[in-house]
Amino acid sequence: MPLTTGQSFAGYTIVRLLGSGGMGEVYLAQHPRLPRRDALKLLPREWSADDEFRARFNREADLASTLWHPHIVGVHDRGEEDGQLWISMDFVDGLDAARLLADRYPAGMPPEDVVRIVSGVASALDHAHKQALLHRDVKPANIMLTHLDDKGEQRILLTDFGIARNINDISGLTKTNMTVGTVAYCAPEQLLGEDLDGRADQYALAATAYHLFCGSQLFHNSNPAVVISRHLNVPPPALADVRPALARFDPVLAVGLAKRPEDRFERCSDFVNALAEQLDSASASTPSTPTVSAPRATPSVDAEAGPSRRRRVAVAVTVAVLVGASISAAALLMRQSSHDQSARSTPTTAAPAASPVTFESMRDFVTSYYGELPAHPTDAWEKLDSQYQNQTGQREFVDFWATIQGDGSFGQPPRRQQRGC
């Protein structure tokens, strides 16, 4: 239950709720001693109950508190109160980029605004990377924009560094890792649980830039398994298809969104510098090609189709995410699928109350579903709820799973893929 105005927590006095979501709740709170108001973030209790996560959170919050940068929201304190972890940060009087996009620019921001925003974030990320700290959750909702001051200036700040992780302490795909990271912007290597460096944040920044440019996520879909599959296997959609005037940015985004880290820019600032070059060349009759020496050309689909580790474990990763981070999505599939089957078998009677969804029942559902794949896609299709079936289409579903080899490795991606926007 959310805290109420005037309530005390860890010595802070709650002023009001600023926002809430899967990452916890954020409050505006009065500092217990100083004449200052902070943003007080309370992490979900289930995370706080994990001893390993608690130790890592304390360690990384301490590291994040040492960061000082004009584009990073400062971390002041952290602790645990009544079995719940909390962290206090600078309060930013403004709104996040996701809200600005939804409220004012649903079809995409002006390109100069996008470049200005991601430039500030890139500077913050490069600074953190030099301190061996990764953010791992770069997205529009974590980019704060202050209201214009008396001089008409606006600050751009990257928040949530308190749940970042040390570069040397990132490996393995766990439920906590996937909960902390946002699938819509995750780099392929992060989804696969591979070792990460700053180029994983760069991928997320490029995915964020794409979202700001066109108003839609890179691989938008209500099913996280579909989003993950496309991050791993499908080339990024082109801005030219939805905002032709921004086609000049596509070559830069293609590098920042390369599937392999070694094919991306060396630093986040290199990525935004290339974007800025394209912005400056807007008056040119044809888009110029970014000229940076660090990344190689984005690999083609044919080059990526070979049996690599990334392809072989892709299916296993999707299952892991459905069981772990996307637990609610799997539960929803179970409930809706059960409801659909009941409706088809007894159309004139009320469906019985759904039995509680447990981890074991959800695990059995996911195991049964993927047990049909890739050999029997039609049988797997019948296990899905009607809403997902209507969104995907049986032919595309079957065609996609036809690209999966018997050993779980991917062949060519399906030819009929929806664009991200």
CA 285 to chain centre: 35
Q: Is residue 364 flagged as an active site residue? A: no
Question: What CA–CA distance (Å, rounded) separates 31 from 35?
Answer: 7
For 246, residues 6+ apart whose C-beta sits below 8 A from its C-beta are 108, 111, 213, 214, 239, 240
CA 308 to chain centre: 24
Query: How many CB atoms are located within 10 Å of the residue 100 CB?
Result: 18
The single residue of 126, 137, 160, 270 carrying the catalytic annotation is: 137
Question: What CA–CA distance (Å, rounded) separates 204 from 128?
Answer: 15
Closest by alpha carbon to 305, among 413, 397, 226, 406?
413
> Under a CB-based contact definition with an 8 Å cutoff, are residues 31 and 38 in contact?
yes
Exposed/middle/buried for residue 400 (C-beta within 10 Å: 0-12, 13-18, 19+): buried
Phi–psi pair at 26, nearest 5 degrees: -120, 130
Question: What CA–CA distance (Å, rounded) separates 142 from 135?
Answer: 10
Q: Which residues are part of the catalytic machinery?
A: 137
